[in-house]
A and B are shown apart, each in its own frame.
Chain A
């Protein structure tokens, strides 16, 4: 990392960027700060995520991308020392409000993790798990239908249709990750958070997942953390660049990669640090 980079003293206003008027804002973040104990991990984050688009979060490791992502489904609640302040709205609803049911929130905002983490259950039960705990199916046929369509949307069905009873952990890495995507889709979320979903996969499996993400955009809003700038360029319409806990710059993916405004963004995408 280049140590000459000036650490930002004053929070940079990333809000100079305005989404086009006609886009519906799905997730709205205002002045979000996150502390892990004494240490502050995010500083005054402001970001609007449009519905049915893919937004990439990029930046050097440790800059707070995962932390931001985990604010959106309140996953940070599990971490004792994490404290979140500020306002995050999902369709205008404050998700940190006292009356919010976290269980319901997490059903609306699904998550796919960096390492594929299928449950030690059968492929079918993995996908059926969310619908079961949220009571989304009235009977067995309905449940089967949800499982099958979720697997189809995740592009996995043809590969596993003869062994739905086999263990989900017996699949290859790429298949496991698509299983996790199917599992997330099955609860019919509105937003899907993905934290470096392809970083543990080989190039072919990665290509399959990228294609999949592009299709999923029809029905879901997707926020994805990625280490690969090519990937961000390929799959996302908007890109946000994080640096040392600050959201430095947001914009059209093309603009960020061809004509970044901030020095730090420029340095990062030209590979000067990170």
Chain B
């Protein structure tokens, strides 16, 4: 089997297409989550044809595959878990990283899966265009990974998640056959299998290409930073903003701990006495942007904002965003480890949810800081810890578990953008009833009948199983 893979991958005098050594496998044991496991081998195909042959070889030997791109995923989706004796081959698409075509006239781009999100952004910007999905990981995460996780970002409120920007997907099945989903004629008749493949988390096959929608870059942008005396006041402002007559394009919330942490690191000029800040952005044509920003200033003040600043120029704007984007880096300086959660609640429950996160942190004696895509009700509590501290992991996982349970209790859901992977898999029995889970399984099996693509991920193995496990057996942190 490994010989066959080597023969497929090491052609033209190249010898690094397959990694089988302990060291070669080591960096592919995990994504950006804690969950990790040892793959059988790592395949790094350079072409679609090689990928097809790798998949056929795995299929012939009944060996599961774990698709992988940049490995910035946070749900263990790219972690190569498998039963003893059925360890998967990691199939990395990282070397297929070309921008195949930038179709400026029709405002779309055909990309290979390993192309990094920010690179498409730069290529589009040269033509006055932009690619809207902007996950905080965009300098590293790939578009194939973004498709596979249905990634979100900062501007989801008005632009929507990844799926809204994916016009077509080339999905390769385990026979190595490529299916062009929704590419021929957009919409109108025929099932939207493209939609299912977006967010498939590697369980439906490998995304070997995608056609993505580009938008014109906005002529005007208004960015505001508002400080609040309490989390509740900030949350209430969010409620008022989304029911005002113009939706902001981005509404991010950071709590006092997050503000303090990034200020020391990025000097973004956030008010240090605030219990929370909101970062707001309006994009579009100038009068609309001004009107939106004026409304936001008024609403923030009405809800007790202690400071409201509107960026005067692009430097100031960049500085405001720098604080938000520096969170992960700032944390890495402060705490050796962090566990980043991802839950969603209806926007009206945001205040309640944030209060409960604070309580959970106090109870488990953990520092939790909140960075929230507030306009979407999507929370990202960062739980900081040092794994050398005895028993700390139990408390970290207990806190994570409680945060998810709280979101569910508030009519929310277990993941808004990072995906299910292994991390959230066993919660699905709480999200869906048995019939709905059966539908999920049936759709998956219909698209990927071999059950070799990322088999442990997304759906619980026994439908309706009980308690969630944060650390699956066989994995270590």
Partners in one complex: no
Q: B residues bordering A, Cβ < 8 Å?
A: none
Q: A residues bordering B, Cβ < 8 Å?
A: none
